[in-house]
Amino acid sequence: MDFSLSDDQTQIRNMVRGFAAEKIAPFAAQWEDEKTIPRAVLKEAAGLGLGGIVVKEDVGGSALSRVESVLIFEELSYADPVVASFLSIQNMCAWMIDAYGTEEQRQTWLPRLCAMDKIASYCLTEPGSGSDAAALKTRAVKDGNSQYRVSGSKAFISGGGYSDIYLVMCRTGEEGPKGVSCLLVENGTQGLSFGANERKMGWQAQATATVNLDEAPVPASHLIGGEGMGFPIAMSGLNGGRLNIAACSLGAAQSALDKAVAYMKERKAFGKSLSHFQALQFKIADMETELQAARIFLYQAAWKLSHDASDARKFCAMAKRLVTDTGFRVANEALQIHGGYGYLKDFGIEKTVRDLRVHQILEGTNEIMRVIIAREMLSDD
């Protein structure tokens, strides 16, 4: 087994690290105050190939593996987990169209998504169906042969009101997962509207809103993957999304730990720097060990998904559960090391703690990850 990065992977990581340090990190607090991510920085990221990381090259994608993808999101999140997670959603949507769309759909939508001329949002969760996604009520009814009429509401949608394209999971058939389809809805569609931007604990620079559809006409040509394929598409997209959001937790937690170590060297108490207190030495040793263990496990899960391993789904769920729990715990401990200063916005630690808390909820809660893991373990197949 070779645990080293290839030369190409090292170059990719270093490129993204430099971009994130220069173009994202210095402005993260400002964007939080302004409650927006400038489209200009997303376009710059797209110029480096970060708008379609695992999308095929013929439509403008970078055609990288899931391993490179997690390396990229780890570095982006070291600068700011909010921008990183938003780019993760963009990439998940682009991959879904690339993997399941027709050739015409790929050529129509993906060049614009990869260039981030268009921003995409993933619309699965509803006010009454979060973890039980297969119970969704948003319905699309055929109106002749050329279009659907879509009605329903999607909750907690990242990019709601900000994005240009919404991949909407809706019911076209029977109850349960087999009746769900995926429709691409463009902003500006009649009957499409948005709720107010949610007031959140974290992710404040990232728009989050309810997406409402009231008899919205959607061309039949915007159906992705055929009727009844929506649930498998949604779940497949989440495998990669879970890896990316885990990488976002990992990168941000590493940043918080590095800040804590620097603080320990500078801060003095009882006549000596905090770095001389064994209790704190043991704490950062455990934090570093846990992050390194989480990192290796995440890379393994990414390798499995890239190689379509039979147990990839289980490993994606395990990695998401382990890494996001570890990341939040390490960030919280980093705040504790800073003491009262960690609670102040000036040091940036409290923002990381707030931003990482939701990673244990989105892309499937960590309780649902345990359900997936246990089902895979107990399956007779």
- What's the rounded Cα separation, in Å, for the pair 233 and 249? 24
User: What is the average per-residue pLDDT within 267-288?
Assistant: 96
Half-sphere exposure of 182 (CA within 13 A, CB side): 27
End-to-end CA distance of the chain: 28
| From 74, 363, 367, 376, active-site residue | 363
Alpha-helical regions (H) of 267-360: 278-306, 312-338, 349-357
Q: Which residues pair with 126 in a beta bridge?
A: 129
DSSP 57: G
Of residues 328, 326, 317, the one with CA closest to residue 370: 317
* Phi, psi torsion values for 171, nearest 5 degrees: -90, 120
User: What is the average per-residue pLDDT within 162-181?
Assistant: 95
Are the C-beta atoms of 147 and 181 separated by less than 8 Å? no
User: What is the average per-residue pLDDT within 352-381?
Assistant: 94
Over the stretch 364-376, which tens digit does the pLDDT of each residue have? Answer: 999 999 999 999 9
Task: Name the E strands within the chain.
Answer: 120-123, 139-143, 147-158, 165-171, 180-186, 192-194, 208-219, 223-224, 268-269, 272-273
* Token pair recorded at residue 64: 């990288």
pLDDT at 1 over 80: no
Of residues 148, 228, 162, the one with CA closest to residue 191: 148
User: What is the average per-residue pLDDT within 145-174?
Assistant: 96
* Phi, psi torsion values for 170, nearest 5 degrees: -140, 160
- What's the rounded Cα separation, in Å, for the pair 175 and 379? 24
pLDDT at 381: 64
pLDDT at 145 over 90: no
Q: Strand 180-186 relative to strand 192-194: parallel, antiparallel, unpaired?
A: unpaired
pLDDT at 209: 97
* Average predicted confidence (pLDDT) for the chain: 96
How far, in Å, are 44, 64, 83 from residue 49 at the CA level? 9, 10, 15
pLDDT at 183: 98
pLDDT at 380: 78
Quickly state the pLDDT bin for 127 (edges 50, 70, 90): very high
- What's the rounded Cα separation, in Å, for the pair 127 and 145? 30
Cα angle 326, 328, 332; round to 5: 115
* Percent of the chain whose pLDDT exceeds 70: 100
Residue 102: burial class (beta carbons within 10 Å; 0-12, 13-18, 19+) = middle
pLDDT at 206: 95
Cα angle 57, 62, 68; round to 5: 145
pLDDT at 379: 87
Quickly state the pLDDT bin for 144 (edges 50, 70, 90): confident
* DSSP 3-state of 125: coil
User: What is the average per-residue pLDDT within 252-276?
Assistant: 96
Per-residue buried b or exposed e for 26-44, using 16+ beta carbons within 10 Å of the residue's own CB? ebbeebbeeeebeeebbeb
pLDDT at 264 over 90: yes
CATH numbers and ranges of domains, the chain = 7-114 (1.10.540.10), 120-231 (2.40.110.10), 238-378 (1.20.140.10)
User: What is the average per-residue pLDDT within 131-137?
Assistant: 86
Quickly state the pLDDT bin for 59 (edges 50, 70, 90): very high
pLDDT at 274 over 90: yes
Over the stretch 176-231, which tens digit does the pLDDT of each residue have? Answer: 899 999 999 999 999 999 999 999 999 999 999 999 999 999 999 999 999 999 99
363 is catalytic: yes
Token pair 């090292």 is found at 10
Half-sphere exposure of 267 (CA within 13 A, CB side): 17
Q: Which residues pair with 122 in a beta bridge?
A: 167
* Token pair recorded at residue 257: 């730990």
* DSSP 3-state of 152: strand
* Percent of the chain whose pLDDT exceeds 90: 94
- What's the rounded Cα separation, in Å, for the pair 181 and 269? 60
User: What is the average per-residue pLDDT within 247-262?
Assistant: 98
Over the stretch 298-351, which tens digit does the pLDDT of each residue have? Answer: 999 999 999 999 999 999 999 999 999 999 999 999 999 999 999 999 999 999
Of residues 235, 246, 251, the one with CA closest to residue 301: 246
* DSSP 3-state of 69: helix
DSSP 117: S
